[in-house]
Chains A and B, each alone.
Chain A
Amino acid sequence: MLLDFNKLGAWKWGLTAICVLMALFLLLPILFIVGLSFGSSRWLIFPPPGWTLKWYAELFADPRWLGAALTSAKIGVIVMVLSVALGLLASLALVRGTFRGREVLRAFFLTPMVLPVVIVAVALYAAFLRLGLNGTLVGFVIAHLIVALPFAIITITGALETFDPAIEDAAILCGASPWEARLRVTLPGIRHGLFSAAIFSFLISWDEVVLAIFMASPSLQTLPVKVWTTLRQDLTPVIAAASTLLVALTVLLMIAAALIRKGKSE
């Protein structure tokens, strides 16, 4: 009976209350930032004494914010492409390969995800100091790719595992070469997985803080680095404005991901 919502009696209300409180706990801080970003108080008084767009004006007037956003976008797109490409190849090996030790390889691919990012960040920082990659676009891309790749691999192997290899075999017997079969049959068959992997990879790169702090130089920084350095000086409402835009982007990407999922179920 405990797993039938309508048979829970009074407990039903208890559980519902906990759920609603938790949802508020998760949601309110986000709504709070959105509210602050339009509030006129420099000292972040809430509810604000008046409403204004001046924090957004300040944000857009500062070329460093815009530059950081552009850098983030550029890195995010490159990471997305590389992560999906490498992730696809690696997943083909993991799911369709016949060599021994595939499970070990899979665990190896996922380790950057389980290790604390700070270790990866410090280790790469040291390596990049030697290689002269600190503060370069290449450095950022490599660092973000290391942490995005496991997510791409998880998503794409998931899609490949549910795609029957006999379908690829059928295409080959129909006369398609193995590569043609992969391109014309398998890739379209797992396209939802590839899109999700792309969205995940972009978001991970776009939001990455710790690695970015270590990779950044005064001349090249991503949006999270800019937020970070600003935050450490002062809790200015400009950050609320920037954060609100980030939330908006997240919502858009979530809607895109939901649409992809819906397309898949149809």
Chain B
Amino acid sequence: MFSAITAGRRGSGLGFALPAVLLLFAFFVVPVAALLTRSVTEPELGLQNYAVLVGSSTYARIFFNTFFVSGVVTLITVLIAFPVAWALAIMPSRWASIIFAIILLSMWTNLLARTYAWMVLLQQTGLINRSLMALGLIDAPLQLTNNLVGVTIGMVYIMLPFMILPLMGVIKKIDPAILQAAALCGATKAQALRRVLIPLAGPGIASGALMVFVMSLGYYVTPSLLGGTANMMLAELIAQQVQSLVNWGMGGAAAFLLLVVTLGLYAVQLRFFDAKEAR
């Protein structure tokens, strides 16, 4: 129902939004637009920045790194998150709430603190390499930082909560009677999983995966600390162009590409959900 007061006699309420709108306009819309504009005006008017970005193999490598790592991170995250979310949705609530608290703790722990932990754990003399060597599984330490392996581990660690929490909500909303019906229809557990539970959770999985993928594409901190300078990703490229090379044109062009991909995938996600709700 409507609030009779605001609906009937007072103004439309738009004025209340004004401070936030002005703030975002002045310090978000205008600066981002200005940055994107610089991609076609600096050093001179034209699309040369984009030509360089698309044409050079250095940049191709960066795009490949970005999409490849994001894809792998998304895949691993989904594979871990689905069973965990499923279990959390149906576990006795005491156990579930302990695991839930751990997920929240890790999610809210300072990003740099978490990344630092992985830098220490994964380094040549770190706990992981030393344990593996002590167990006799390897002879020489593995190279786990300053490459994409480290980035992937660090990113999965960060993205897991973002996948588990929404997926848990989706699974909780599925009526258990549907799966009871599947069992009565003669479906084995594996069949019920493949033909009923996963399809029902499908939209949730897809939208969570899309969100993790989009977040990974633009991630800056973990790739730059665990990936090292040789394995750059797109966000680092933008920062580097602007900060170290003071090349605003290239920085703006890279930012534009990232923005288009991000908003495009975000729009896909919105449509996807609208379509689902309309049904």
Q: Do chains A and B touch in the complex (CB under 8 A)?
A: yes
State in angstroms the CA–CA spacing of A226 and B60 once bound together: 33
Partner among B20, B157, B161, B258 whose Cβ is within 8 Å of the Cβ of A119: B258
Which residues of A sit under 8 angstroms from B32, Cβ to Cβ? Answer: 115, 119-120, 123
Which residues of B sit under 8 angstroms from A266, Cβ to Cβ? Answer: none
Q: Measured between C-beta atoms, what is the minimum distance from B162 to chain A in Å? A: 12
State in angstroms the CA–CA spacing of A34 and B24 once bound together: 39
A residues 1-59 with Cβ under 8 Å of B?
1-5, 8-9, 11, 14-16, 18-19, 22-23, 25-27, 29-30, 32-33, 36, 43-46
State in angstroms the CA–CA spacing of A136 and B31 once bound together: 18
Which residues of B sit under 8 angstroms from A183, Cβ to Cβ? Answer: none
State in angstroms the CA–CA spacing of A104 and B184 once bound together: 46
Interface flag for B238 (CB, 8 Å): yes
Interface flag for B6 (CB, 8 Å): yes
Q: Is the CB of A124 within 8 A of B84?
A: no
Partner among B19, B160, B196, B262 whose Cβ is within 8 Å of the Cβ of A26: B160
Choose, from A60-68, A90-98, A189-197, the stretch at the interface: A90-98
Q: Measured between C-beta atoms, what is the minimum distance from A149 to chain B in Å? A: 6
Annotate B111-147 by CB proximity to A: 1 below 8 A, 0 otherwise.
Answer: 1111111111101011100000000000000000000
A residues 112-128 with Cβ under 8 Å of B?
112, 114-127
Interface flag for B87 (CB, 8 Å): yes
State in angstroms the CA–CA spacing of A250 and B20 once bound together: 28
Interface flag for B193 (CB, 8 Å): yes
The winner among B103, B171, B221, B259 for most chain A CB atoms within 10 A is: B221
How big is chain B's contact interface, by range?
A: 35 or more
Annotate B71-114 by CB proximity to A: 1 below 8 A, 0 otherwise.
Answer: 00000000010011011111110000011011111101111111
A residues 232-253 with Cβ under 8 Å of B?
232, 235, 239-240, 242-243, 246-247, 250-251, 253
Q: Is the CB of A119 within 8 A of B255?
A: yes
Residue positions of B touching A, CB distance < 8 A: 1-7, 10, 12-21, 23-24, 27-28, 30-32, 34-35, 38, 80, 83-84, 86-92, 98-99, 101-106, 108-121, 123, 125-127, 157, 160-161, 171, 174, 176, 179-180, 182-183, 189, 192-193, 196-197, 214, 217-221, 225, 235, 238-239, 242-243, 248, 251, 255, 258-259, 262-263, 266
Extra contacts, 16 of them, besides A45-B125, A127-B30, A235-B120 (Cβ < 8 A), are A3-B174, A3-B176, A22-B160, A29-B121, A32-B121, A36-B120, A92-B13, A97-B14, A98-B13, A120-B32, A126-B31, A126-B38, A153-B20, A214-B239, A227-B112, A231-B115
